[in-house]
């Protein structure tokens, strides 16, 4: 891993001896480079910061969004915010000023948070990949393993371990003064030489890029076999018709077929969304990773300014695009975003009236990947919505019938 705000990467250039020698004539970035760099980095980082803040807010403030998977997405959003602020914004000042302007403390802190954000994002992606695998391929175990409380503990462990791991960068980073023939510039570089840095880099590269992608490839392959090769109910129209027919006949059970169909579609949609996040992580980090690996074996490193800018923009885009993916592929996130921005309908569509109590399965289709914690919040939301729209007479009748009409395979939730 390299300091992605610096033009001259330490792997390619050993800066350990720059203090007492001149480096020729220094030339500033061209006007075209400054304009393109500042505009694109500002746009991507600005939108990314807003989007990731919105992800955090909608999950923390919306009860039914507090699921294990969404907790991992919050962790990923926090990590992406670190990357966008600690790597993206200093890149703007570097393009404008041509040197490091944040001093020694800024060098240590910004470098630390760069690596912390990058490594924590990789671990968060790995965590929700494993959670999806357990939830879909081992639904019985998921009832006990994929819970909200366990997800929070795993996230805390991920951040604790990555925080400790990244402490080494506080001892490897330092500011250096580069003496050119025409000017002396301050830069944020690394203390270690090229030969000492390579083992650290390749360890980081393997643990936080190669291994997570290999694991994700295997697990999503197993998930795809379950979701897309096994026969699952997938006809919402048929289930909807059956539900309406049972309702018109005075049925007291929500159609199992309709519920299973909705569950299957939801499982596929969530998995597709998370798979897209993983694929983009692999693709958008690939140019920069490949460049540094190649330069590690070259006598003279390839340091084209425009290509370095392209590599950095891909990194920033990876941290900024996830909220866009959630909005495009998740109806729940899309609705929550609209509600947060006050640009969508502010009240739910009125549900049909019922003259009987609503009955739900105790087992709750655990294969959909949602935890019992999430099931509880869903019931709370449904109870609130039912209280709002059902007439008081119906509510009283439903409460009286809640024990009389309960079936052996279900439990009654008070309306």
Q: How confident is the model at residue 192 (pLDDT cuts 50, 70, 90)?
A: confident
What pTM was computed for the model?
Answer: 0.75
Do 156 and 65 belong to one domain?
yes
Do 368 and 312 belong to one domain?
no
Q: How confident is the model at residue 126 (pLDDT cuts 50, 70, 90)?
A: very high
Do 276 and 398 belong to one domain?
no
pLDDT of residue 52: 97
Do 395 and 268 belong to one domain?
no
Do 40 and 157 belong to one domain?
yes
23: in domain? no
Do 181 and 266 belong to one domain?
yes
Which CATH number characterizes residue 35's domain? 1.20.1070.10
* Number of folded domains that form the chain: 2
What confidence tens digit (pLDDT) does each residue in 212-246 have? Answer: 999 999 999 999 888 877 644 444 444 444 444 44
8: in domain? no
Do 315 and 279 belong to one domain?
yes
219: in domain? no
Task: Indicate the residue among 289, 316, 341 that finishes a domain.
Answer: 341
20: in domain? no
What is the distance between the alpha carbons of residues 287 and 313, in angstroms, rounded to a whole number? 10
371: in domain? yes
Do 276 and 373 belong to one domain?
no
Task: Indicate the residue among 278, 312, 341 that finishes a domain.
Answer: 341
Do 120 and 190 belong to one domain?
yes
Range(s) of the domain holding residue 189:
31-213+261-341
Do 407 and 283 belong to one domain?
no
Assess whether pLDDT exceeds 80 at residue 17. no
14: in domain? no
Mean pLDDT within 350-365: 38
Task: Indicate the residue among 341, 371, 405 that finishes a domain.
Answer: 341
């Amino acid at each position: 891993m390299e300091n992605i705000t610096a033009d001259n990467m330490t792997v390619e250039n050993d800066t350990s001896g720059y203090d007492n020698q001149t480096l020729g004539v220094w030339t500033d970035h061209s006007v075209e480079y400054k304009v393109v760099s500042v505009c694109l980095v500002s746009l991507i980082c600005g939108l990314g910061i807003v989007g990731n803040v919105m992800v955090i807010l909608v999950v923390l403030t919306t009860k039914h969004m507090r699921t294990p998977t969404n907790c991992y997405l919050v962790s990923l959003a926090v990590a992406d915010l670190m990357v966008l602020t600690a790597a993206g914004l200093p890149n703007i000042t570097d393009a404008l000023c041509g040197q490091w302007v944040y001093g020694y403390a800024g060098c240590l802190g910004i470098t630390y948070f760069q690596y912390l954000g990058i490594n924590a994002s990789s671990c968060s992606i790995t965590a929700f990949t494993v959670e999806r695998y357990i939830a879909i391929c081992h639904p019985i175990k998921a009832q006990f393993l994929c819970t909200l409380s366990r997800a929070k503990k795993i996230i805390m462990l991920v951040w604790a371990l990555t925080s400790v791991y990244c402490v080494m960068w506080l001892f490897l980073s330092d500011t250096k003064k580069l003496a050119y023939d025409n000017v002396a510039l301050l830069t944020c570089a690394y203390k270690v030489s090229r030969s000492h840095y390579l083992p650290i880099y390749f360890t980081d590269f393997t643990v936080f890029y190669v291994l997570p992608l290999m694991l994700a490839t295997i697990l999503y392959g197993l998930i795809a076999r379950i979701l897309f090769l096994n026969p699952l109910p997938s006809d919402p129209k048929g289930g909807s018709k059956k539900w309406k027919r049972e309702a018109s006949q005075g049925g007291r059970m929500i159609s199992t077929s309709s519920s299973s169909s909705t569950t299957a579609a939801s499982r596929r949609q969530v998995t597709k969304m998370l798979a897209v996040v993983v694929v983009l992580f692999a693709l958008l980090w690939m140019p920069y990773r490949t460049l540094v690996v190649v330069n590690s074996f070259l006598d003279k490193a390839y340091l084209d300014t425009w290509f370095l800018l392209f590599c950095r923009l891909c990194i920033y885009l990876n941290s900024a695009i996830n909220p866009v993916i959630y909005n495009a592929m998740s109806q729940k996130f899309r609705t929550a975003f609209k509600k947060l921005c006050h640009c969508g309908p502010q009240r739910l569509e009125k549900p049909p009236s019922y003259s009987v109590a609503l009955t739900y399965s105790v087992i709750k289709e655990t294969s959909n990947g949602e935890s019992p914690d999430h099931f509880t919040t869903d019931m709370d939301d449904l109870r609130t919505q039912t209280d709002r729209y059902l007439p008081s007479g119906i509510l009283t009748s439903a409460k009286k019938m809640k024990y009389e009409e309960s079936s052996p395979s279900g439990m009654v939730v008070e309306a």
